Amino acid sequence: MSFWIFMLIMNLILPITMIVFGRYFMKKAPKEINEVFGYRTSMSMKNKDTWEFAHKYCGKIWYLYGMVMLPITVIFMFLLIGKNEECVGSVGGIICGVQLIPLIGSILQTEIVLKKNFDKNGKRR
């Protein structure tokens, strides 16, 4: 049972992080464009406008994806109660891998929307 609890906690980290940071980025982007904290791509760091736009957009996506992934993760993990460690570990690993798809996909989505709304120099279209 302790391994199941460990896997539950590990699998909840990503959706909870996406919810928390998604909510934070929707409300405000980090004040300064920096290379340490925030949504950092070459396009998002062009200027203050692209920086704030990228954070607001990505924040919405992260919040939405996190809210969808959280209950799905809990449901799948509760289906594993009483199963052996090998099963819990395998399914838990699969859940973690599947959770990475929306995380990486959110970067692609945000970059596409940035390119639609801004030119290569960061000026609004």
State the CB neighbour count (10 A cutoff) for residue 49.
Answer: 13
**Alpha helix (H) ranges present in the chain?**
2-27, 48-78, 85-117
Helices 2-27 and 85-117 pack at an angle, to 10 degrees, of 10
The pLDDT value given to residue 86: 93
pLDDT in tens, 3-49: 999 999 999 999 999 999 999 999 988 888 888 888 899 999 999 99
pTM, entire model: 0.87
pLDDT in tens, 67-95: 999 999 999 999 999 899 999 999 999 99
> How would residue 125 be classed by pLDDT, with cut points 50, 70 and 90?
confident
